[in-house]
């Protein structure tokens, strides 16, 4: 019998939707949750902004108040859902950017190979003296002279390579 393989990626990436609002009332169509939340956030922001403008200039936007309060949030919601910097949701992008800015950029942390480096405060860096790696005098330079493989370690603890003329450690090996 053959094996059935299911790909759940498309189902898991499906956006969350709202259709039933209360126990007795449901909408005839589904509304995506994230754009709906974005819309209500933008309605509140636009209402607060234009309310402040109306407090200063009482006759500003008298005839277009409905468009400014409800049309602008629709345009902003459409814009926010279309923009995907680096393939992410714009809110996740701004959250990651703020985390990077406040935790790495402002403290001026230095990284090397994904590890924090603490040399940023030091004024002078010292280097150790070079150590000459010395091998044994009877070593064979060519690796194709024998098939016996043993690592050789010099007196400084460094691995020099394979010397084929030494015995192997395992008794059953050739």
Flag whether pLDDT at 30 surpasses 70: yes
CA angle 149, 154, 158 (to 5 degrees): 85
Q: How far apart are CA 132 and CA 158, in angstroms?
A: 11
Q: Where are the domains of the chain?
A: 14-121, 133-167
Stated pTM of the model: 0.53
The tens digit of pLDDT for each residue in 77-89 reads 999 988 888 888 8
Contact in structure between 120 and 108 (CB atoms under 8 Å)? yes
The model's pLDDT over 133-147, given as tens digits with 9 standing for 90+, comes to: 776 666 666 666 655
Three-point CA angle 150, 152, 157, nearest 5°: 140
In the predicted model, is pLDDT for residue 43 greater than 90?
yes
120 CB contacts (<8 Å, ≥6 apart)?
108, 109, 110
Looking at per-residue pLDDT, the higher value among 20 and 1 belongs to 20
């Amino acid at each position: 019998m053959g094996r059935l393989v299911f790909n759940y990626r498309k189902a898991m990436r499906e956006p969350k939707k709202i259709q039933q609002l209360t126990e007795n009332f449901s909408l005839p169509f589904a509304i995506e949750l994230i754009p709906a939340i974005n819309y209500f956030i933008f309605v509140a922001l636009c209402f607060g902004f234009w309310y402040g403008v109306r407090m200063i200039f009482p006759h500003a936007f008298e005839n277009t108040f409905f468009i400014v309060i409800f049309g602008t949030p629709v345009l902003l919601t459409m814009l926010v859902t279309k923009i995907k910097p680096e393939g992410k949701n714009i809110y996740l992008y701004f959250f990651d950017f703020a985390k990077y800015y406040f935790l790495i950029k402002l403290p001026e942390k230095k990284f090397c190979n994904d590890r924090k480096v603490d040399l940023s405060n030091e004024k002078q860096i010292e280097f150790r003296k070079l150590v000459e790696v010395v091998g044994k005098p009877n070593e064979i330079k060519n690796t194709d002279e024998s098939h016996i493989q043993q690592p050789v370690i010099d007196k400084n603890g460094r691995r020099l390579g394979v010397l084929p003329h030494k015995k192997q450690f395992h008794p059953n090996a050739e």
